[in-house]
A and B are shown apart, each in its own frame.
Chain A
Amino acid sequence: MSLKKVHSDQPKEFKFSDENLKKATDILKMYPEKNKKSAVMPFLYLAQRQNSNWIPLAAMKYIAKLLSMPYISVYEVATFYTMYNLAPVGKHFIQVCTTTPCLIRGADKIVSLCKEKISPNENEISTKGSCSWMEVECLGACVSAPMIQINDDYYEDLDEKSTKEILDSLIKDKPLKPGSYRGRKNTAPEKQQKVNGENHA
Chain B
Amino acid sequence: MPKITINGKEIEFKKGMTVLQACELAEVEIPRFCYHEKLSIAGNCRMCLVELEKSPKPIASCAMPATEGMNIKTNTDFVEKARKGVMEFLLANHPLDCPVCDQGGECDLQDQSMYYGVDKSRFVENKRQVKEKYMGPLIKTQMTRCIHCTRCVRFATEVAGVPEIGAIGRGENMEITTYLEKAMESELSANVIDLCPVGALTSKPYAFEARPWELKKTESIDVMDAVGSNIRVDTYNWEVKRILPRLNNDINEEWVSDKTRYSCDGLLKQRLDVPYVKRNNKLQKSTWDEVIPILVEKIKTINPNEIGGHIGDMINLENALGFKKLFSALKIKNLEFRERKFYINSAEKSNYIFNSSIKGIEEADLILLVGTNPRHEATMLNARIRKAFAQKKTPIFSIGNPGDLTYDYTIIGDKTDDIKKILNNETDFSKKLSSSKKPIIIIGESALEIDSGKYIFEGFKNFLKKNNFINKDWNAFNFLPQNASTVGLIDLNIVSKDDEENHTFFEKLNNNQFKLLYLLGSDNLDIKKNNEFIVYQGSHGDRGAEIADIILPSAAFTEQNGLYENLEGRVQECKKASYTIGEALEDWKIFNLILKALGKNQNFLNFSSLRKEVLNSISNFTELNELPFFKESIIKNTSPKFLSETVSIKELDYFFTNAISRASKTMSECRQIRHNSKKTGTDNL
Check if A76 sits within 8 Å of B168, measured CB to CB.
yes
Q: A4-B173, A6-B180 are in contact. Are A73 and B685 (CB under 8 A)?
A: no
Q: Are B685 and A75 in contact (CB under 8 A)?
A: no
**In the complex, A10→B165 CA distance in Å?**
22
The answer to whether the Cβ of B163 comes within 8 Å of any Cβ in the partner chain is: yes
| Docked CA distance A76–B173 (Å) | 12
A58 to B683: give the CA distance in the assembly, Å.
10
Q: With an 8 A cutoff between CB atoms, is B282 at the interface?
A: no
Given the complex of chains A and B, what is the CA–CA distance between A74 and B510 in angstroms?
55
Selected contact of B165 from candidates A4, A72, A80, CB within 8 Å = A72
A79 within 8 A of B: yes
B170 touches A72 (CB 8 A): no
Whether A79 contacts B168 by the Cβ 8 Å rule is yes
- A80-B179 contact, Cβ under 8 Å, with A10-B685, A70-B163: no
One of A12, A73, A81 near B166 (C-beta < 8 A): A73
Also in contact, A71 and B173, with CB within 8 A (given A10-B685, A61-B685, A76-B166): no
Across the interface, which residues of A come within 8 angstroms of B164, CB to CB? 70, 72
**CA–CA, A61 and B682, complex, Å:** 12
A102 within 8 A of B: no
Distance A96 CA – B400 CA, assembled complex (angstroms): 60
| Min C-beta distance of B529 to chain A, whole Å | 49
1/0 per residue, CB under 8 A from B, across A36-78: the answer is 0000000000000000000001100100000000111101100
- Docked-complex contact B163 and A75, CB < 8 angstroms: no
Cα A80 to Cα B168 with chains together (Å):
6
Q: Evaluate whether A72 and B169 lie within 8 angstroms (CB atoms) in the complex, with A12-B685, A58-B685 already known.
A: no
A36 to chain B, nearest CB (A): 16
Complex Cα spacing A72 to B164, Å:
6
Interface string of A84-102 (1 = CB under 8 A from B): 0000000000000000000
What residue of chain B has the Cβ atom nearest to residue A12's Cβ? B685
The interface residues of chain B lying within 8 Å CB-to-CB of A76 are: 166-168
Min distance, Cβ A14 to any Cβ of chain B, angstroms: 10
A58: chain B residues within 8 A (beta carbon): 685
Complex contacts, A70 vs chain B, CB 8 Å: 157, 163-164, 166, 179
Instruction: Quote the shortest CB–CB distance from A134 to chain B (angstroms).
Output: 15
Docked complex Cα distance between A3 and B168 (Å): 13
A7 to B670, CA, bound (A): 29
Could you say which of B157, B166, B167, B169 has the most chain A C-beta atoms within 10 Å of its C-beta?
B166
Residues of A within 8 A of B173 (CB): 4
Given A79-B169, A80-B169, do A72 and B685 touch, yes or no (CB 8 Å)? no
Q: Is the CB of A80 within 8 A of B685?
A: no
B179 and A75 within 8 A (CB): yes
Report chain A residues within 8 Å CB of B685.
10, 12, 57-58, 61
Known: A10-B685, A71-B179, A75-B179. A80 touches B170 (CB 8 A): yes
Q: B164-205: contact bitstring with A at CB < 8 Å (1 yes, 0 no)?
A: 111111100100001110000000000000000000000000
Chain B neighbourhood of A57, CB < 8 A? 180, 685
Residues of A within 8 A of B166 (CB): 70, 72-73, 75-76
Neighbouring B residues of A10 by C-beta, 8 Å = 685
Roughly how many angstroms separate A44 CA and B170 CA in the complex, as a whole number?
17
A58 to B173, CA, bound (A): 24
Chain A nearest CB, measured from B146 CB (Å): 15
Specify which chain B residues have a CB less than 8 angstroms from the CB of A12 in the assembled complex. Answer: 685
Interface digits, B147-173 against A, CB 8 Å rule (1 contact, 0 not)? 000000000010000011111111001
B174 to A, closest residue via Cβ? A80
B493-525 at interface with A (beta carbon < 8 Å) = none
A4 neighbours in B (Cβ, 8 Å): 169, 173
Q: Considering only CB atoms, which chain B residue lies closest to A72 in the complex?
A: B166
Distance (whole angstroms) from the CB of B174 to the closest CB of chain A: 9
List of A residues within 8 angstroms of B179 by Cβ: 70-72, 75
Across-interface contacts of B167 in A (CB, < 8 A): 76
Q: In the complex the two chains form, what is the Cα distance from A148 to B546 in whole Å?
A: 75
Q: Nearest chain B CB to A79's CB is how many angstroms away?
A: 4
Cα–Cα, bound, A58→B168 (Å): 17
Partner of A73 from B163, B169, B180 at Cβ < 8 Å: B163
* B157 / chain A contacts, CB cutoff of 8 Å: 70
- Residues from chain B with a CB closer than 8 A to the CB of A6 are 180
Q: Which residues of B are found within 8 Å of A71, using beta-carbon distances?
A: 179
Contacts of B178 in A (CB 8 A): 72
CA distance A81 to B179 in the complex (A): 17
Shortest CB distance A147–B (Å): 24
A12 to B180, CA, bound (A): 16
The listed residue with most B CB atoms (<10 A of its CB), out of A4, A6, A58, A72, is: A72
Closest residue to A2 on the B side, CB-wise?
A: B173
User: Which residues in B have their C-beta under 8 angstroms from that of A61?
Assistant: 683, 685
Distance of A68 from chain B, by nearest CB (Å): 11
Binary interface profile of B, 525-540, with partner A (CB < 8 Å = 1, else 0)?
Answer: 0000000000000000
Question: Which residue of chain A lies nearest to B156 when distances are taken between CB atoms in the complex?
Answer: A72
In the complex formed, the residue of B with least CB distance to A81 is: B170
**In whole angstroms, how far apart are the Cα atoms of A73 and B167 in the complex?**
9
Q: In whole angstroms, how far apart are the Cα atoms of A79 and B166 in the complex?
A: 11
Residues from chain A with a CB closer than 8 A to the CB of B163 are 70, 72-73
Residues of A within 8 A of B170 (CB): 79-81
- Closest CB of chain A to B44's CB: distance in Å? 14
A73 to B166, CA, bound (A): 7
Q: Closest approach, in angstroms, between the C-beta of A94 and any C-beta of chain B?
A: 23
A182 to chain B, nearest CB (A): 35
Complex: A81 Cα to B168 Cα, angstroms: 10
Q: Which residues of A contact B168 (CB under 8 A)?
A: 75-76, 79-80
What 0/1 readout, one digit per residue, does chain B (405-437) give for beta carbons within 8 Å of chain A?
000000000000000000000000000000000
B306 to chain A, nearest CB (A): 59
Distance of A61 Cα from B170 Cα, bound (Å): 21
Cα distance A6–B181 when bound, in Å? Answer: 12
Q: Distance in Å from the Cβ of A32 to the closest Cβ of chain B?
A: 18
CA gap between A80 and B175 in the complex, in Å: 11
Q: Which residues of B contact A75 (CB under 8 A)?
A: 166, 168, 179-180
Question: Which residues of the partner chain A approach B683 to less than 8 Å between Cβ atoms?
Answer: 61
Most B C-beta atoms less than 10 A away, residue of A4, A58, A79: A79
Docked pose: A4 CA to B167 CA in angstroms? 13
A91 CA to B632 CA in the complex, in Å? 79
Q: Which residues of B contact A (CB under 8 A)?
A: 157, 163-170, 173, 178-180, 683, 685
Could you write out 26 A-B pairs with CB less than 8 Å apart? A4-B169, A4-B173, A6-B180, A10-B685, A57-B180, A57-B685, A58-B685, A61-B685, A70-B157, A70-B163, A72-B163, A72-B164, A72-B165, A72-B166, A72-B178, A72-B179, A73-B163, A73-B166, A75-B166, A75-B168, A75-B179, A75-B180, A76-B168, A79-B169, A79-B170, A80-B168
Closest 6 CB pairs of A and B: A70-B163, A72-B166, A79-B168, A72-B179, A76-B166, A80-B170
Having A72-B178, A79-B168, A80-B168, one finds 20 other A-B pairs with CB under 8 Å, namely A4-B173, A10-B685, A12-B685, A58-B685, A61-B683, A61-B685, A70-B164, A70-B166, A71-B179, A72-B166, A73-B166, A75-B166, A75-B168, A75-B179, A75-B180, A76-B167, A76-B168, A79-B169, A80-B170, A81-B170
